[in-house]
Structure 1
Amino acid sequence: MIDHVTVAVSDLAASKLFYEKAFVPLGYQLSFGEEGVFWAFNIGDGLFEIMQAASPGPLTRVHVAFRAKSHAQVDAFYQAALAAGAADNGAPGPRPAYTPNYYAAFVIDPNGYNIEAMIDEAADAG
C-alpha cells in the first residue's frame, strides 16, 4: 500500500490554500508541515504531501513511499531496486527525525523519481 505521495508545487502557500478547500468535501485535512517547505494532508490511510519545488534535499518532483511489513522487507526492496538499476538515495535505516520508529530506504528510479520503502513500527523481534 502507498503510505504517502509528495508532489512539488510552484507556489506552496497557494497550493496549501487550494488543497485545504478542495479536500473539504472528501473530509481530508491538513495534518502537519513546515511553512515554506512542505504540507501534509491526512487522506485516511496515508498522506498527500505538497512541497515547494525549490526546496533543497533528496526529494524529487514526485516522491512515492510504499509501506513495508518489516525492516527486512525494506532492506530487500533496497537491494532489489539497486540490482534492477536504481540509484541509491538513502540506505536502509532508522529516520528518527521523521518519527521514533520510522525505518526507510530510498532509491532514484530509472525516471529520476524518489521511491521509498518504509515502516513506522518498532524493530522486528528476533
Structure 2
Amino acid sequence: MIDHITIAVGDLPKSKLFYERTLEPLGYRLSFGKEDVFWAFDVGNGCLFEIQRPDSEPPLTRVHIAFRVNSKAEVDAFYRAALEAGAADNGAPGPRPDYAEHYYACFVLDPDGYNIEAMINEA
C-alpha cells in the first residue's frame, strides 16, 4: 500500500491554499506540516498526499513515494532488492525518530532519480 506521496511545488503557500480548497469536496483535510517546508493532507486510510518546497533537503526529491510495509524485515528486503536492481542508496534501513517514535524506513533512488521509500511506523 502507498503510505504517502510527496511532490515539489513552485509556490508552497499558493499550493497549500489550492489543495485545501480542491481536496475539501473529497473530504480530505490538511493534517500537519511545517511552515515554509511542507504540508500533508489526510486522504484516508492513514494515507497522505504531501506538498513540499522544490529545494527540500535530501533524501527528498521532486517526487517521493513511500510504500507502507508490514515489518522491518520487509524494509530491509526492499532495500537489498532495490540496490540489486540498480537503485542508488538514499538512506539505509533504520529508525527515523525525527519522523515518528517508531518510524523505520529506507530510501533509494530509482533509475530516474526519484526517491522511493519503504517504511513501517508501528511499535
TM-score, with length taken from structure 1: 0.95
User: 1:81 is matched with which residue?
Assistant: 82
User: 2:106 is matched with which residue?
Assistant: 105
Alignment map for 1:56-95 (pairs within 5 Å): 56-95=57-96
| 1: CA distance, partners of 2:36 / 2:105 | 25
Q: Describe the SS at the equivalent of 2:13.
A: helix
Structure 2 gaps of 5+ residues are none
Structure 1 gaps of 5+ residues are none
Q: Which amino acid letter does the alignment assign opposite residue 119 of structure 2?
A: M
Query: Matched residue pairs, number?
Result: 122
Q: Describe the SS at the equivalent of 2:100.
A: coil
Alpha-carbon distance, 1:58 to partner: 1.7
| 2: CA distance, partners of 1:89 / 1:35 | 25
| 2: CA distance, partners of 1:100 / 1:56 | 21
* Greater Cα shift, 51-60 or 11-20: 51-60
User: 1:17 is matched with which residue?
Assistant: 17
Contact 2:96 2:103 (8 Å CA) reproduced:
yes
Q: Which amino acid letter does the alignment assign opposite residue 31 of structure 1?
A: S
Q: Describe the SS at the equivalent of 2:16.
A: helix
| 2: CA distance, partners of 1:55 / 1:114 | 12
TM-score, with length taken from structure 2: 0.97
Q: Describe the SS at the equivalent of 1:92.
A: strand
CA RMSD of aligned residues (A): 0.6
| 1: CA distance, partners of 2:77 / 2:7 | 26
